[in-house]
Amino acid sequence: MNTATARRSSSIRSDQLGMLMHRLHQYAGIHIDSSRGVIAQCIERRMTNLGIDDVDAYMGNFDESINARAEWLALIDLLTVKETRFFRQPMAFDCVADYVEGLLQQGPAPSELSFWSAGCSSGQEAYSIGMVIEHVMRRYQPWMQWHGIGTDISFDAINAAQRASYGFDSVRHVPLEFRDWYLQREGMDGWCVAPAICSQTNFFHSNLLHVNSAPFADFNIIFCQNVLIYFERDKQRWIIDQLTDRLRPGGLLVLGAGEDARWTNPNMRRADWPGVTAYRKTGG
Ligand SMILES: C[S@@+](CC[C@H](N)C(=O)[O-])C[C@H]1O[C@@H](n2cnc3c(N)ncnc32)[C@H](O)[C@@H]1O
């Protein structure tokens, strides 16, 4: 949204906005870090799409019904920032390559390897991890299997991730050797992720606030970058603990640079990778 639009006066009163944000926080556990003007514009856009002019009438949608759940999800889709890119933090992917190499060389080799990109947005993070794993495996143990998942609270993001189709500008951060192997041209200026990566990477809608009831477990690698900012400090730590429980012994947890560097867990040791907030699970 452009700032000129965001500055236009809003029909939503401050108390209505406050109430909606409070209820959104109760529902999804997340804080939206945009200015009040931008949030108000998102809500107005949603009301326009629904053909509703009256803010109170719109707020009446948020009752206990199943439709209310759908409306919360539609609003969250508009309000969450989905900025992402391939190989967003290059050193984190070097860390993954190093971890996978170590795993394959330490023997006896595991029969398969798995990862989870939690808060994956439109899929670039998950596909970047997949490319790195595939690349290392090709070199050391090409017969080995891997699979990965990406999860996000936004349906739009999950749909985009499943399409696996990206514009020219999006792929400029993919290192050339990976681009040659794992991306394919699609039309004049588009690219898609090659089947070798796509077919082993699946995407699901899931709210990290409910990670304790999500049916995901037993990963070698979990990425959770630039998502925890949506949660309060105690919730952030609870989520990281939950992710830790879903790692295999010896597994690797990668957070965003500088994200909760003071978090500790008796089962986790800080990994010695410069510039990367990563932890290894004990055992394995
Ligand atoms: C800024 S993007 C980060 C994407 C990617 N991890 C990266 O670092 O490039 C944050 C993503 O977190 C998702 N998100 C926000 N709150 C969430 C929640 N409660 N559960 C799951 N995903 C959430 C948003 O929809 C968005 O796609």
Q: Which is the closest atom of ligand 1 to the Cα of 157?
A: 27
Q: Which is the closest atom of ligand 1 to the Cα of 84?
A: 9
Q: Which is the closest atom of ligand 1 to the Cα of 76?
A: 25
Helix (H, G, I), strand (E, B) or coil at 221: strand
Write down the pLDDT at residue 132. 98
Distance CA 98, CA 231 (A): 30
For ligand 1, atom 27: residue with the closest CA: 121
For ligand 1, atom 26: residue with the closest CA: 82
Condensed to tens digits (0 to 9), the pLDDT of residues 5-42 reads 443 445 889 898 888 888 888 887 887 877 888 889 89
95: confidence class by pLDDT, cuts 50, 70, 90: very high
For ligand 1, atom 3: residue with the closest CA: 226
Ligand 1 neighbours, Cβ below 6 Å, are 28, 30, 80-84, 88, 119-121, 125, 152-154, 157, 207-209, 225-227, 230
Residue whose CB lies within 8 A of the most ligand 1 atoms, among 27, 91, 153, 155, for a mutation test = 153
Distance CA 216, CA 246 (A): 7
Query: At residue 49, what is the residue type?
Result: N
Residue 258 phi/psi, 5-degree rounding, is: 80, 0
Higher pLDDT, 3 or 40: 40
Tell me the pLDDT of the chain averaged across its residues: 90
Give domain 90-281's CATH number out of 3.40.50.720, 3.40.50.150, 2.30.110.10, 3.30.1540.10. Answer: 3.40.50.150
The domain limits of the chain are 3-79, 90-281
Q: Tokens 């796509």 — which residue? A: 198
Ligand 1 midpoint to CA 152 (Å): 6
Residue 116 corresponds to which tokens in the numbers above? 């989870």
**Percent with pLDDT over 70 in the chain:** 96
User: Would you call 217 exposed, middle or buried from its count of C-beta atoms within 10 A (0-12, 13-18, 19+)?
Assistant: exposed
Ligand 1 midpoint to CA 215 (Å): 19
Res 258 pLDDT > 80? no
Residue 102 corresponds to which tokens in the numbers above? 């170590």
* For range 205-219, the mean pLDDT: 91
Ligand 1 midpoint to CA 119 (Å): 4
Q: Which of 65-74, 77-86, 147-156 has the lowest mean pLDDT?
A: 65-74
Class of domain 3-79: mainly alpha
Q: Which is the closest atom of ligand 1 to the Cα of 117?
A: 6
Ligand 1 midpoint to CA 6 (Å): 23
Write down the pLDDT at residue 261. 66
Residue whose CB lies within 8 A of the most ligand 1 atoms, among 75, 80, 209, for a mutation test = 80
For ligand 1, atom 7: residue with the closest CA: 84
Write down the pLDDT at residue 64. 81
Write down the pLDDT at residue 9. 45
User: Which element (helix H / strand E) includes 184?
Assistant: strand 183-186
Res 1 pLDDT > 50? no
Condensed to tens digits (0 to 9), the pLDDT of residues 74-83 reads 998 888 889 9
Res 222 pLDDT > 70? yes
In 3D, which of 81, 55, 76, 71 has the Cα closest to residue 1? 81
User: Which element (helix H / strand E) includes 171?
Assistant: none
Write down the pLDDT at residue 4. 37
Region class of 79: left (phi > 0), else alpha (psi between -120 and 50), else beta: alpha
Write down the pLDDT at residue 257. 86
* For range 150-170, the mean pLDDT: 95
In 3D, which of 164, 200, 202, 199 has the Cα closest to residue 184? 164
Write down the pLDDT at residue 10. 56
Q: Which is the closest atom of ligand 1 to the Cα of 122?
A: 27
For ligand 1, atom 9: residue with the closest CA: 84
Distance CA 76, CA 25 (A): 10
Ligand 1 midpoint to CA 39 (Å): 17
